[in-house]
């Protein structure tokens, strides 16, 4: 077998290792889907070890070296090197004879995030490196924060990883499974770090859907657009992360709406719209029952369709005051939804959407927030 094929076998194992550890971090090792992914990872490792019985990996400054050969850049390998870095692993060896149980234990340890106690087994050898002390800016959201300032994800690369993670989270909810919030927390933390590094370039990615409609999911776009508003108002730290997470999860209730309603190309009937209008309540209830999710996320899920004059849904009593995060998320939600191609509508031009938001400023949306949002978009166009 030639060298290129052997290398591809190792890369295939790394891809499956990342998938299984990410899924384990979301749902736990006992989940049936996680067990399946671990089995796939084990099969790919066994295939690689059948040809190369001693696979040695070295992480050096965010780059991966396999069997003394530096690897060409790829999103998967960069992500894997980052995971090694987060866990304080400088050197990793897989030896022929490794069992499914040993790999399962290793994946379980990786899924705990920043697990500096992760140790060697009989056939999986872990070489430790000392991790620097984390400063106050490291945040409390796990792997997405640790040392991220030294890791230079391009926007397209970041999008690919987060799209896969979000898809997994939302599919789990759709299957009525309880999610773990660590994956979403990491996503938001990485987006915050990308904002610090890329500035308004990240806003460009979210605002210009016509350039690449599949770069980010709707929920990630809303999170980006909402965090841009929050940062422009001087919000930072844990509150910024909570707002980003709340915006990311604002539409989680739609996972409880039948697909035939969500994807219907024509106008919904009254009965179908009644079902659709239940998604804020269902989403809020789901988030309230999920440990580790900030309460702000449940509030935003509940309020993001209410509107400032309470003309939306669910019904609210007179005098109800919407949360600022809900108001910013609602603006981002309307903007991105109208910029997106959907079964029942073509995407609208940015200027048309901006005019619609302006027409509703002071009634459905707070005028200062609408003006601030459109100013951000205007600055984006100037930077283009």
Domain ranges, ordered by start, for the chain: 3-131, 158-383
Other C-beta atoms closer than 10 Å to the C-beta of 349 total: 11
* Torsion region of 235: left, alpha or beta (phi above 0 gives left; psi -120 to 50 gives alpha): beta
Question: Which pTM value belongs to this model?
Answer: 0.54
Checking DSSP bridges between strand 69-70 and strand 124-128, what pairing results, if any? unpaired
- ∠ Cα 309 314 320 (to 5°): 45
Structural Rg of the chain based on CA atoms: 22
Buried b (16+ CB within 10 A) or exposed e, 64-94: bebeeeebeeeebbbbbbbbbbbbbbebbeb
Q: Which long-range contacts (CB under 8 A, 24 or more apart) does 165-172 make?
A: 165/22, 166/217, 166/219, 166/220, 166/248, 167/217, 168/22, 168/23, 168/26, 169/26, 170/219, 170/252, 170/255, 172/26, 172/27
Place of tokens 């990240």: 202
CATH second-level architecture of 158-383?
Orthogonal Bundle (1.10)
CA distance 348 to 334: 11
Q: What is the DSSP string of 224-258?
A: HHHHHHHHHTT--HHHHHHHHHHHHTTTGGGGGS-
356, 374 Cβ separation under 8 angstroms: no
- Per residue of the chain (384 residues), give pLDDT as tens: 566 777 888 999 998 898 888 878 777 888 888 899 999 999 999 999 998 899 988 887 777 888 778 888 776 788 888 888 888 888 889 999 999 999 999 999 888 766 666 778 889 998 865 433 433 333 322 233 333 333 444 444 445 555 555 555 556 655 655 555 555 666 677 666 665 554 544 454 444 343 333 334 677 788 888 998 998 899 888 888 889 888 988 888 887 888 788 778 788 999 999 999 999 999 899 888 877 778 898 999 999 999 999 999 999 998 899 999 999 999 999 998 887 766 566 778 888 888 999 999 999 999 999 999 998 887 765 554
């Amino acid at each position: 077998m030639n060298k290129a094929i052997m290398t591809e076998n190792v890369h295939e194992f790394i891809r499956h290792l990342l998938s299984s550890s990410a899924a384990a971090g979301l749902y736990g090792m006992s989940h049936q889907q996680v067990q399946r992914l671990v089995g796939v990872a084990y099969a790919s490792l066994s295939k690689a070890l059948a040809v190369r019985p001693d696979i040695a990996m070295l992480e050096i400054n965010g780059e991966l070296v396999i069997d003394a050969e530096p690897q060409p850049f790829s999103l998967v390998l960069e992500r894997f090197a980052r995971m090694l870095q987060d866990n304080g692993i400088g050197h990793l060896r897989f030896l022929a004879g490794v069992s499914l149980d040993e790999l399962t234990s290793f994946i379980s340890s990786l899924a705990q995030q920043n697990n500096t106690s992760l140790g060697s087994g009989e056939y999986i050898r872990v070489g430790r490196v000392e991790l620097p002390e984390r400063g106050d800016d490291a945040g409390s959201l796990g792997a997405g924060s640790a040392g991220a300032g030294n890791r230079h994800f391009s926007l397209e690369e970041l999008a690919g990883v987060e799209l896969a993670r979000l898809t997994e989270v939302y599919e789990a909810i759709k299957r009525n499974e309880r999610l773990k919030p660590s994956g979403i927390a990491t996503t938001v933390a990485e987006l915050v770090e990308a904002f610090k590094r890329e500035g308004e370039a990240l806003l460009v990615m979210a605002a210009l859907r016509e350039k690449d409609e599949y770069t980010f999911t709707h929920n990630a776009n809303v999170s980006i657009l909402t965090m841009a508003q929050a940062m422009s108002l001087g919000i930072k730290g844990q509150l910024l992360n909570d707002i980003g997470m709340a915006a990311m999860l604002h539409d989680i209730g739609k996972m409880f709406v039948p697909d035939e309603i969500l994807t219907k190309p024509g106008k919904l009937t009254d009965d179908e719209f009644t079902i659709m209008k239940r998604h804020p309540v269902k989403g809020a209830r789901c988030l309230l029952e999920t440990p580790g999710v900030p309460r702000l996320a449940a509030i935003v899920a509940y309020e993001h369709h209410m509107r400032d004059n309470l003309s939306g849904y669910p019904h609210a009593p007179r005098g109800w005051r919407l949360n600022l995060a809900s108001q910013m998320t609602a603006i981002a939600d309307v903007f991105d939804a109208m910029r997106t191609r959907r079964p029942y509508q073509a995407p609208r031009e940015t200027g048309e959407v901006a005019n619609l938001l302006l027409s509703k400023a002071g009634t459905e949306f707070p005028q200062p927030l609408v003006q601030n949002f459109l100013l951000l978009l205007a600055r984006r166009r100037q930077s283009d």
